[in-house]
Amino acid sequence: MADAHFEANNVLDILRERGFVQQVTNDDRVRSQLASGRVTYYVGFDPTAPSLHVGSMVPLMAMAHLARAGHRPIAVLGGGTTMIGDPSGRSELRQVMAVEQIQANRSQIEPQVRRFLAAASDAIVVDNAEWLIPLNYLEFLRDIGRHFSVNRMLAAEAYKLRLEKGLSFIEFNYQLLQAYDFLVLWRRHGCTLQMGGDDQWGNMLAGTDLIRRLHQEDVQALTFPLIQTASGAKMGKTAAGAVWLAADRTSPFDFFQYFVNVDDRDVGRFLRLLTFLPLPEIARLEALVGAELREAKRVLAHEITAIVHGLAAADAARSAALAAFGGVAGGDRSVPTYSVTAGELQGGLKVVDLLAAAGLAASKSAARRLVEQGGVKLGDRRIASVSDTVSVSDVADEGTLLHAGKKHLRRIVRA
RNA sequence: GGAGGGGUUCCCGAGCGGUCAAAGGGAACAGACUGUAAAUCUGUCGCCACUGGCUUCGAAGGUUCGAAUCCUUCCCCCUCCA
């Protein structure tokens, strides 16, 4: 029964060693399934924004590991389910999104997802709107809805919060739709494994149950731990908002910097989850202590940036960071730039205005505070007063770094 | 549909006619210390203007010299009843 190739390096072991596994419906089943041949598996992504953010990296990496092991991935972009909104683990009613917005988001996200499926030549990317939109309500209730127990759904952990705060009927249907997705994928593509974040556990089980009831078929589900940083925050949240995978929302440089700045305690875990580095190598990096650990963080940042933005961008971000934080005057080309015109400089551009315009401060008031707190530096010059201005001589030909605090900077160049 | 409770600045949560841009905590940001880490300490944390102005407390009106605080209507949420 077992296929030698798949048997020899069971991906389940890889996932487990790297910390991807939170819950599995049936460990032995998943293991033997993955050992006996190609498995078609799926993960869903809801296009609620024009880009995925680093929070989606865990499922994407898991998909990539399976693809590398020779299994067949299906990425479901939830154009249909997003019209409903998943209430799992949420405390508030999700805002209903415009269909056009969802479709626009979907087309932006698709290439981001595909990047992780490259190892499988026959990877499938589908939008569940394709089968959800044509659904006939009465037929759906009769054929699918009958298999769901409201009592059991209400008892689910995922709805606890919402039972106190309020759960609308539309959201209550989300689980049925996700279960139906699994059924469709099983019927069409023989998909027998669904993976997803642990908050999806209930929805995923609904799918395996549905397939068992309708077809007496034993399909599986596996969840990933929800990643929090050591300080308890959701991974990928910063002052500027989420850390996005799209380069035009989070520059490769800032993306790189996010990972250089992670908490010491997160380094090993992130290396295992978010890079493909072999475990012995990770063990070595993770064992570094004190300031040495920064080297591990640089490796982490470089690896992830390479996966998301490509090797060239990762190299550029790394050298830019070294230059910027190593004291190279004009910084490196890859530090995000902001151009000022000669006219603005002639007129005596206020540093406070520049900070706000370059995106280093949320408002002029915020910029003013930064200056007052002594956090602003233009080149080597510490800005001492909120009324300081930038003149032509302050901006070198190769650009001058404007620092807002220790970690945020822009390269100011003349237009 | 009925009765009661509630919607406050990013989050939680005080305030219940002036002293409120609004306590406290969290998050975040800056400075010090460090290792572009953590912990700790200090400061900041609506917007604009060099101690003044403007816009905020679900929405719209109203009472008042003056409202987040009182009244009216509306929207939304929760609990119990139907």
> CA-to-CA distance for A297 and A267, rounded, in angstroms?
7
> CA-to-CA distance for A162 and A109, rounded, in angstroms?
29
Which CATH class, in words, describes the domain spanning A4-224?
Answer: alpha beta
> Any idea which nucleotide's C1' is nearest the CA of A298?
B36
pLDDT at residue A239 in the model: 53
| Bases along strand B below 7 A from a protein CB | 27-31, 34-39, 43-50, 77-79
Residue nearest to nucleotide B29 (CA to C1'): A239
Residue nearest to nucleotide B50 (CA to C1'): A387
Which tokens hold the place of A323? Answer: 């230059």
Domain ranges of chain A: 4-224, 237-325, 337-414
Q: What is the CATH number of domain A337-414?
A: 3.10.290.10
CA of A368 to C1' of B55 (A): 19
Q: In what order do the strands lie in the sheet with A40-45?
A: A23-24, A220-224, A191-197, A40-45, A72-77, A124-127
Chain-centre distance for alpha carbon A334: 23
Task: Confirm if A263 and A229 have CB atoms less than 8 A apart.
Answer: yes
CA of A345 to C1' of B35 (A): 37
User: Following CA atoms A122, A125, A129, A131 in sequence, which dihedral angle do they give, to the nearest 10 degrees?
Assistant: 20
Spatial CB neighbours of A170, under 8 Å, sequence gap ≥ 6 = A84, A85
CA of A157 to C1' of B8 (A): 30
> CA-to-CA distance for A213 and A146, rounded, in angstroms?
11
CA of A92 to C1' of B82 (A): 27
CA of A383 to C1' of B42 (A): 20
Which tokens hold the place of A283? Answer: 């063990």
> CA-to-CA distance for A332 and A326, rounded, in angstroms?
11
Write b or e for each residue in A29-62: b if 16 or more Cβ atoms lie within 10 A of its Cβ, otherwise e: ebbebbbeebbbbbbbbbbbbbbbbbbbbbbbbb
Encode pLDDT of A375-407 as tens digits: 898 888 888 888 888 888 888 888 888 988 888
> CA-to-CA distance for A163 and A160, rounded, in angstroms?
5
Positive/negative CA dihedral, A132, A134, A139, A141: positive
ipTM: 0.85
pLDDT at residue A238 in the model: 59
> CA-to-CA distance for A61 and A57, rounded, in angstroms?
6
3-state secondary structure of A352: helix
Chain-centre distance for alpha carbon A189: 26
Residue nearest to nucleotide B44 (CA to C1'): A369
Beta bridge partner(s), residue A237: A242
**Taking CA A61 as the corner, what is the angle to CA A304 and CA A310, rounded to the nearest 5 degrees?**
35
Encode pLDDT of A11-55 as tens digits: 999 999 999 999 999 999 999 999 989 999 999 998 888 888 888
> Any idea which nucleotide's C1' is nearest the CA of A239?
B28
pLDDT at residue A91 in the model: 47
Q: In what order do the strands lie in the sheet with A337-340?
A: A337-340, A408-414, A400-404, A376-378, A381-382
Global pTM reads 0.87
CA of A94 to C1' of B65 (A): 45
Positive/negative CA dihedral, A267, A273, A279, A281: negative
**Best CATH choice for the domain A237-325 from the list 3.30.300.20, 3.30.1540.10, 3.40.50.720, 1.10.240.10:** 1.10.240.10
Task: Confirm if A252 and A320 have CB atoms less than 8 A apart.
Answer: no
> CA-to-CA distance for A220 and A240, rounded, in angstroms?
38
Residue A204 φ/ψ region, left for φ over 0, alpha for ψ in the -120 to 50 degree band, beta for the rest: alpha
Residue nearest to nucleotide B78 (CA to C1'): A165
Task: Confirm if A248 and A111 have CB atoms less than 8 A apart.
Answer: no
Q: What are the average pLDDT values for consecutive 10-residue runs of chain A, which has 415 residues?
A: 67 94 93 92 90 89 96 94 68 61 91 95 95 93 89 72 66 87 97 92 92 95 82 60 82 90 89 95 92 92 95 92 71 78 84 89 90 88 86 84 87 86
